[in-house]
Amino acid sequence: MTSSLALSLVTFVYLGCSVLYLFYLVFKSETVGKLATWASIGGLALNTYGLVKRWVESYEMGIGHAPLSNLYESLVFFAWAIMVLYLLMEWKYQHRSIGVFATPFAFFTMAYASFSTSVDSKIQPLIPALKSNWLIAHVLTCFLGYAGFAVACGLSLMYLIWGKRRREGKGPLSFIPDGATLEEISYKMILIGFLLLSAGIITGSVWAHSAWGTYWSWDPKETWSLITWLVYATLLHARFMKGWSGNRVAFLSVVGFVCVLFTYFGVNFLLSGLHSYAAG
């Protein structure tokens, strides 16, 4: 099976996972919940196969680079990272209902990679600026961090809905974890994402110095990465020093992930700069 076919199938598997988790939440069926978990594990395995196979194919073509060099490959890795973090979280906390908010991020990411006409899925030679091992470290840390923020955003949305449910008193959302659990898991996801994003900015600076001769150039991607970092730094500072909790932290988490999305997509398509190669 080619990497292209495998990764196309992953899109539909993640769609199935999202639907199964929704059915699990609505009908409260443990059988459906277990099926959703196993489908997620299967999708992640196929996602992993697609990434590895694409890496092998690049060597067979005489190009030979890790599948982390353009928008398509970063989207595929982003979806993979979201599912890894989600499944680890499900395993640790035993709350499958969170999947209804987490797995759609992986599905939409793969759907955009697979079906958008603006995303080129071909394996292409690296431009000189990307021929650096620092690139791999930079992309790995950044996208694992983004995945942490994506899962935290899903948890925060659940928290905000949970508050509404609490006022209404009943409904299918009564099956989701209590607010304290959602806050705890969301905080851990944000902390993981923040540390990884910090590492990503540092490794990116080292890579920029080797590629362009400067550690920081206020390129739009760099500037928005800093803005994203500051939003999450503000959230953590407010939580630690000011005792913020509940809806305010959940709202900041959603705002932070909007900044992540703009840093990832908006900058690529709306603002030109040194990272313009990442738009294709």
How many other C-beta atoms lie within 10 A of the C-beta of residue 222? 21
pLDDT tens sequence across 182-193: 889 999 999 999
Structure tokens at 85: 């973090």
- Is residue 279 predicted with pLDDT exceeding 80? no
pLDDT tens sequence across 160-175: 887 655 555 555 666 7
- Is residue 223 predicted with pLDDT exceeding 60? yes
pLDDT tens sequence across 211-222: 888 888 888 888
Mean per-residue pLDDT over the chain, rounded: 88
Q: Which of 231, 225, 49 lies closest to 138, judged by CA?
A: 225
Structure tokens at 9: 């199938």
**What's the pLDDT at 278?**
54
pLDDT tens sequence across 230-246: 999 999 999 988 888 88
Least confident among 65-69, 99-103, 156-160, 266-270: 266-270
Give just the sign of the alpha carbon dihedral 138, 73, 255, 91.
negative
**What's the pLDDT at 164?**
56
Q: What is the mean pLDDT of residues 247-260?
A: 94
**What's the pLDDT at 31?**
92
